[in-house]
Structure 1
Amino acid sequence: MRVSRLGSDGTRAGRPSARDADDVRAETPATAARADESHTARRRDPLAIAARLSPLLGLAVSIGLVWWGLDSGVLRSLANLQAFIDSLGAWGPIVFLIVSAAAVVFPIVPGGLLVIAGPVLFGAIEGTVYNYIAVCAGSLLNFLIARHVGLALIERIFPARLVDKYLGWTRSPHFTRAFAIAIVLPVAPDDLLCYLAGTTRMRWGTYVAIILLGKPWALVAYGLGISTVLLQLVPW
């Protein structure tokens, strides 16, 4: 004879009771409704909309600048471009620093393009120094913003799937080491990681040391390296 085990409420052990099933059926629509409301709210959020549209706006502005540069002759040769930058005086580096730092904090234009543009516009050494100042300033600001605002802002700026993918890194006891490697070797979206680092218990001094000591390697390898190759390959 097979004896059925009963739970404390008189139902078969391991099987949900009718009341549990009713609860599941009652909770499922509510959970789905909340998820839909959250998704709808994100779609209507002005900051989230701006984050989605800003790359397109940056692309449109970039195309407009290229068209103007070709029409005016500034972009017809590297000598013309550098002469134009020199004619701006101190405003050239100032504008570049502001735009580059802002691109780290908010995705106005792809930051990688500006990192490559630095050595082309200002020369290898000066352009790399400007890249370093701008990227470090933006990265430090990302940490401070996240520390005071929290994860809610990050989820509004970056795609939810991307945030969920790298949020697991912050739960690892080795996050600080992984973060340092990601800063030295640009193998992950370091702008997002800088924001996420601000939501962890990482100390400010540790974060500053990683940024200041780790960024030069990536900037030299990526910005200076690629710009040098492009100038060699592209007749300008």
Structure 2
Amino acid sequence: MSTVAVAGPQPTLAPRPTPTATTFLRWSRRATVTGWLGCALLVAWGVQSGVLTSVGQLQAFLAGFGLWAAAVFALVGASEALFPVFPGSITIIAAPLLFGPVVGTLAAYAATCLGSVAVFLLSRHVGADLLAARFRPATVDRWLRRVRHRHFPRWFAVAIAMPVGPDDLLCYLAGVSRMSFRSFLLIVLALKPWALLAYIFGVLALVRAFVPWLAP
């Protein structure tokens, strides 16, 4: 007696969130809410003190702290990868407007690289269940199939070099792949500057064209 195979959906690769991943996600949400409240207080203080009444006032205020302001900005930007108070693209756009094209680009580069490394290490420590806790199961399932492909490092390198891409998701995926930390770090350090330069100078061109009073 022969059996007939019944077509059906492929088994999912996405794991169920574990307590460790769920706990991290819960603390991430709390940190995000705390960040929103902190930003609201800073905005209220900045408006009252006059620091946020104009871009020039804000730039002069930050200039008083020297390179420390750019360093703190980079650390805050890096934390956005783990605790997304604001989209990371806002940090990248704001850096050259606040610190100028050179220092601002370096600050954005440091923030992006530090955030990428933090995401990679966290994903490698917690595992694929962190992906299941943070992203939609369909998204996780689709990308995990690519992670297991032998050409994933090449795809990752190409995606990192693109000006617009899901960097956080890519770094989470790299953390659960077989890619070594050394390879990951070399790809990010070597290819991310080109994506940042294209993105930053593209945004600056639009700013100069439509809102020239904001351009550095």
Fold conserved (TM > 0.5)? yes
Name the SS of the counterpart of 2:3 in structure 1.
Answer: coil
- Matched with 1:14 is 3
Are the structure 2 counterparts of residues 79 and 143 from structure 1 closer, same or farther at C-alpha, using a change threshold of 3 Å? same
Unmatched 5+ residue regions in structure 2? 6-15
Distance apart, 1:128 and its partner CA: 0.3
Distance apart, 1:92 and its partner CA: 1.3
- Matched with 1:197 is 174
- Matched with 2:25 is 48
Partners in 2 of 1:167 and 1:47 — Cα distance?
21
Structure ID, larger Rg: 1
Tell me the matched-pair count: 202
Aligned residues of 1:143 and 1:194 also touching (Cα < 8 A): yes
Corresponding residue to 2:124 among 147, 152, 175: 147
Unmatched 5+ residue regions in structure 1? 1-5, 7-12, 17-37
The TM-score normalised by the length of structure 1 is 0.72
Partners in 2 of 1:155 and 1:115 — Cα distance?
27
Partners in 2 of 1:73 and 1:178 — Cα distance?
47
Aligned residues of 1:51 and 1:157 also touching (Cα < 8 A): no
Does residue 134 of structure 2 align to residue 160 of structure 1? Answer: no
Aligned residues of 1:51 and 1:158 also touching (Cα < 8 A): no
Report the AA paired with residue 14 of structure 1: T
Following superposition of structure 1 onto structure 2, how do residues 1-236 of structure 1 map, counting pairs within 5 Å?
6=1, 13-14=2-3, 45-51=22-28, 58=35, 61-62=38-39, 64-234=41-211, 235-236=213-214
Which structure ranks higher in relative contact order (CA pairs < 8 Å, sequence separation ≥ 6)?
A: 2
- Matched with 2:10 is none
CA-to-aligned-CA distance 1:87-122 (integer Å, 9 cap, x gap): 233441232121111112332321110011110111
Distance apart, 1:226 and its partner CA: 0.9
CA-to-aligned-CA distance 1:48-97 (integer Å, 9 cap, x gap): 34445666665555455444434432233222111010123344123212
Are the structure 2 counterparts of residues 79 and 56 from structure 1 closer, same or farther at C-alpha, using a change threshold of 3 Å? same
